[in-house]
Structure 1
Amino acid sequence: GAALEAAIHGVPAIAVSYCKREFIDQHADKATITKRDLEFTVEFAKRIVENVLKNGMRPEVDIISVNVPENADPQKLRITNLSYVGYKDIFSEEREGYRIASWKLADYEDANPETDVHVVKEGYISITPIKVQLLHNREALESMIKNIQFE
């Protein structure tokens, strides 16, 4: 969200995500993020930010999306394409709202070995350059709304 909003306004953006293999609310070992993983993710993000501040962002890149798997090895790094695998419904309704009940990386299938989802599943850090292109097609909308009638 925030990185996309920044990019729309012409501000170089970096989105960093930490990715556990699975998160199960009722199992402490599957719901805990280690301090080492958080510190590594922060340090990795810091280096990307410093690089962008020093060198700028290439004009063909609006957002750098970084996905850091748990137990990441800094030597296992890949430049990737964006996967178009949709998000699963991971929330469970509670009396006071919602909670993340369960999430498993294995549930996200992506056969393309060049994508962020695929390489994170393989234990690699993915760095994905994204170009935001807000395109429109008036003709498509005009043909769609001509069938809408008010009585």
Structure 2
Amino acid sequence: MRILIANDDGYLAPGISALVEACEGLGTVDVFAPERNASGTSNALTLHQPLSLHTAGNGFRFVSGTPSDSVHLALTSGLIPRPDLVLSGINNGANMGDDTLYSGTVAAATEGHLFGVPAIAFSLAEKGWQHLDVATRVARRVIEHALAQQAAQTAAGQGARPWLLNVNIPARADADQAAWEVTRLGRRHASFPAVAQLNPRGDTFYWIGPAGEALDDAAGTDFHAVREGRVSITPLQVDMTDHARLPAWQDWVGRR
């Protein structure tokens, strides 16, 4: 079994080392991660400049690009054999609801999924790495189940059908003992306004405002589960088609 691990916080972040620890004894682990923090870069690929790739003393490979670049290089450069599973994280902060569209953590997992490899994104729901050891144990259990599921499918002659999971883990000492919940994505309010500041020369520059508060956090959402202290597991898909609106547009186009 071969496992590829990436993240968006950078190869030096505590979360990626924790995810490597969670995979101990489960197979051969390869790490390809951004050289620097690349949070919020979504599925961006670097297309207009070359990427450099280096290996740290601990064997982690780090890339001068985005999380998606990191996974893309791992899967297409020929440097490593094709993995059986792609993991991303453990992220420093939640990736719930609309976050999944912006998240480099989710994007790294999505890149693996796009190449036909089952993938899981893990996030610790509060910043600061509190209870990272607990999140590591949660990740281990999810990974073990994922690998067992793949093995069962292979034994049944079904092959490994690629899937994509987003896992958010409450920053609690008992998160590995608390109830878990399979959820749908919630929604956030729009982000807070951009923040304008002046540099010493009197020029204005801007910081993107903080993420909005939860808008749809009803029972069954990832927001609700994490708020109640439960691990949230959300199956994701890449198809963004609004199937409910297809008939109306097809009708209009058909009458032109």
Check whether TM > 0.5: yes
Query: Counterparts in 2 of 1:1-151, with a 5 A limit?
Result: 1-20=107-126, 32-34=128-130, 37-56=131-150, 59=161, 62-71=163-172, 72-74=174-176, 75-85=178-188, 88=191, 107-133=213-239, 135=241
2-side partners of 1:111 and 1:73: how far apart? 20
TM superposition shift of 1:100: 10
After TM superposition, what 4+ stretches of structure 1 lie above 4 angstroms from structure 2?
89-95, 98-104, 134-137
Go from structure 1 to structure 2 and tell me whether the alpha carbon gap of 1:111 and 1:83 turns closer, same or farther (over 3 Å shift): closer
TM superposition shift of 1:85: 2.7
TM superposition shift of 1:68: 0.5
Contact 1:62 1:132 in 2 (8 A): no
Q: Which runs of 5+ in 1 are unaligned?
A: 24-31, 141-151
Q: Structure 2 length as normaliser, TM-score?
A: 0.39
Go from structure 1 to structure 2 and tell me whether the alpha carbon gap of 1:73 and 1:112 turns closer, same or farther (over 3 Å shift): same
Alignment RMSD (CA, Å): 3.5
SS at match of 2:136: helix
Q: Identify the structure with bigger relative contact order (alpha carbons < 8 Å, sequence gap 6+).
A: 1
Contact 1:64 1:130 in 2 (8 A): yes
2-side partners of 1:102 and 1:67: how far apart? 19
TM superposition shift of 1:67: 0.3
SS at match of 2:181: strand
Contact 1:81 1:116 in 2 (8 A): yes
Q: Which runs of 5+ in 2 are unaligned?
A: 1-106, 154-159, 200-205, 250-256
2-side partners of 1:86 and 1:65: how far apart? 20
2-side partners of 1:53 and 1:114: how far apart? 26
How many pairs does the alignment contain? Answer: 123
Of all paired residues, the percent bearing the same amino acid is 28
TM superposition shift of 1:89: 5.6
